[in-house]
């Protein structure tokens, strides 16, 4: 197993909710949003870890904690063996952020509209004192643009962001990260705002850069279908907790947690011969509020397999077959996952309802052609 570059143990982030005057006078206890609730994970050198889950589950907060954009409430965070949990010194933070960079989700707001591409890429060089002359910095900028396939760089270097397409803007954002030669990158849904064809191009680019630059990624995404192609490891988050984690192939082929299975069933199938089949997602409702996390297993209000113990006792992390594949479920490895599929006939009427198992679901899992 490669060396761990990021280690998190009991990583916790709570956001306090501002009280009104009446609440303060009544002496009501202060409430907190448990955005990240005591999770453990490792990101290994020159590998990538995907964090997947619904909106509001805490994925982006984890990325911001690693980047020290937010302070940790509790727990420990190590980067290359160094404890950065309480890192506050400006010089040390500056040195750390030279080695760890972040690609933001929205290329339309992450780039300053008043800056040209040259200014956007020169700014991190100026902040970290890299390049003695403007000619040296210009050469570095052109090299970074070539790395992200914006060629020839002379055509892009004097453009403003509004003169670029969405894919070109995100390539500039990636170049801004690479120009400092980091060892670790947090990619927060880097392709979710882009067209499908452009997504494939950028994921292929990031995959190539991982090999060329010896990069390590934390890949935050909603699109679980791309994780098999892009990452080696995966963590499934639900309401601030990692409910399942392990090697990506093992988790996707043999999900132990009902929530992971529900995410897999939600993946659309671009197959013309299956237009008459409608999958029923096995979970209902919305993710609960982080201020009022359910007792016991936090997933039990939406779980189709929940039993009495799930409502009373919080599950511990369990391994079944693969020692690195773990899930927080009382019945991990015991549940025979089934999914209801409705076959629609003429006139939109349901002609047949059947159940399929996880093996059939795995056979139907699709990845965009551009990523195969």
Give the residue range(s) of CATH 3.40.50.300 domains in the chain. Answer: 4-238
| pLDDT value, residue 343 | 66
For the record, the structure tokens of 362 come out as: 């795995």
| pLDDT value, residue 365 | 47
Query: Which band of pLDDT confidence, cut at 50, 70 and 90, is reported for residue 243?
Result: very high
| pLDDT value, residue 367 | 47
Measured CA to CA in angstroms, residue 203 lies from 50, 89, 135, 229, 371 at distances of: 13, 35, 31, 9, 8
Q: Mean pLDDT across the stretch 236-264? A: 92
Residue-wise pLDDT tens digits, 268-284: 666 556 555 666 667 77
Q: Which fold has domain 4-238?
A: Rossmann fold (3.40.50)
Question: What span, in angstroms and rounded, lies between the C-alpha atoms of 34 and 212?
Answer: 38
- Judge whether residue 81 has pLDDT over 70: yes
Q: Check if the beta carbon of residue 155 is closer than 8 Å to that of residue 164.
A: no
245: number of CA atoms within 13 Å, CB side? 18
| pLDDT value, residue 1 | 63
Residue-wise pLDDT tens digits, 86-141: 888 999 999 999 999 999 988 888 999 999 999 999 999 999 999 999 999 999 99
pTM here is 0.86
Residue-wise pLDDT tens digits, 156-205: 999 999 999 988 999 999 999 999 999 999 999 998 878 777 888 888 89
């Amino acid at each position: 197993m490669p060396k761990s570059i990021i280690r998190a143990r009991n990583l916790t982030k709570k956001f306090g909710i501002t009280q009104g005057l009446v609440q303060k006078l009544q002496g009501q206890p202060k409430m907190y949003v448990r955005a990240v609730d005591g999770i453990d994970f490792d990101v290994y050198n020159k590998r990538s870890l995907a964090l997947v889950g619904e909106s509001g589950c805490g994925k982006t907060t984890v990325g911001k904690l690693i980047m020290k954009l937010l302070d940790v409430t509790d727990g420990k965070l190590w980067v290359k063996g160094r404890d950065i949990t309480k890192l506050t010194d400006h010089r040390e933070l500056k040195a750390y952020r030279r080695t760890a960079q972040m690609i933001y989700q929205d290329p339309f707001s992450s780039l300053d509209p008043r800056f040209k591409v040259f200014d956007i890429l020169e700014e991190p060089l100026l902040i970290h004192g890299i390049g003695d002359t403007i000619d040296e910095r210009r050469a570095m900028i052109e090299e970074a643009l070539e790395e992200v396939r914006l060629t020839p760089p002379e055509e892009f270097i004097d453009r403003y962001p509004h003169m670029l397409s969405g894919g070109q803007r995100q390539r500039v954002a990636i170049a801004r990260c690479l120009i400092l030669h980091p060892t670790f990158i947090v990619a927060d849904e880097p392709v979710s705002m882009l067209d499908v064809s452009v997504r494939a191009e950028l994921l292929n680019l990031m995959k190539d850069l991982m090999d060329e630059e010896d990069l390590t990624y934390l890949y935050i995404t909603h699109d679980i279908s791309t994780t098999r192609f892009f990452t080696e490891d995966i963590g499934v988050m639900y309401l601030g907790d990692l409910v399942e984690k392990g090697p990506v192939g093992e988790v996707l082929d043999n999900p132990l947690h009902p929530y992971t299975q529900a995410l897999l069933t939600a993946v659309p199938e671009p197959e013309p011969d299956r237009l008459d089949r409608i999958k029923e997602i096995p979970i209902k409702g919305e993710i609960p509020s982080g201020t009022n996390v359910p007792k016991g297993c936090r997933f039990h209000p939406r779980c189709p397999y929940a039993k009495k113990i799930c409502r009373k006792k919080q599950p511990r992390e369990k391994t079944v077959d693969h020692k690195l594949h773990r899930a927080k479920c009382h019945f991990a490895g015991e549940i025979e996952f089934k999914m209801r599929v409705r076959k629609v006939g003429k006139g939109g009427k349901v002609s047949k309802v059947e159940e399929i198992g996880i093996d059939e679901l795995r056979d139907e899992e699709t990845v965009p052609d551009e990523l195969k």
